[in-house]
Amino acid sequence: MSRIIIITGASSELGLSISKALARPDDTLILHYNRNPRPLESIKGLCRQVIFLQSDFSTPKGIDLFCSKINEADILINAAALTITGLLPTLREESIERMLNVNIMAAVRVTQRLLPSMVAKRKGCIVNISSVAAARGNRGQSVYAGTKGFLNAFTRSLAAEFGRKGIRVNCVAPGPIETGSLKKLKAYANKELLASVSLNRLGSVEEVAATVRFIVSDEASFINGQVLQVDGGFMIGV
């Protein structure tokens, strides 16, 4: 059965891996990116149709632009994210607003746009990409962690609201994944980083993507309103 899948933040390492993990020959993938569409070229040929949509989610105008170009979806993956690290008194107002727009408002508005089509079909699946930061205090991440905490609560409430309509809403919360800023941190603090993970290694984007693929599958049809942490046992220390 063909599916329409919308993935925001698809050009990131994680978003790209999720896109590849979900693509089936009969699917239509609508992939959001902001600056760099080149990584998405590798998705072409994996499914029936691939559509790239550019939009800057850091502004309300950019979110509105994206929403104006989408109408329906069977699966929505809210993976767009922005991390700006800093102690709260040092964060610029612009930085805070950008994180709130990308991490919260984009997910809310895109979900709001697509829910009616799912309700009409009495079927749909939404996965919000959260973070273990929502449940674990980290210096310099008060706003970022707060946005991910919002996604967790947003997920649970949406699941309660729309479960009877056949729509499942879940979160996948990655822990220390070998991508982005963690690659830089690993270069000079690898021992300390691994000491906080009970499996004594970092995770991969492929492992997170595999979890997303499972959550949207029929095998996970009775999982709803959950936050699945993919963190290797990231439980040592504060």
pLDDT score for 233: 82
What whole-number distance in Å separates Cα of residue 149 and Cα of residue 49? 34
Q: Is 144 a catalytic residue?
A: yes
CATH of domain 4-177+204-230: 3.40.50.720
Model-level pTM greater than 0.85?
Answer: yes
Catalytic-role residue among 57, 66, 144, 234: 144
Burial grade of 114 (CB within 10 A; 0-12, 13-18, 19 or more): buried
Each residue's pLDDT tens digit, 182-214:
555 444 345 566 777 778 888 899 999 999 999
pLDDT score for 219: 97
Which runs of consecutive H residues, i.e. helices, occur in the chain?
A: 13-22, 60-68, 93-100, 106-121, 142-162, 181-195, 205-215
What percent of the chain has pLDDT above 70? Answer: 92
- pLDDT interval class at 235 (50, 70, 90): low
Q: What is the crossing angle of helices 142-162 and 93-100, to 10°?
A: 20
pLDDT score for 183: 55
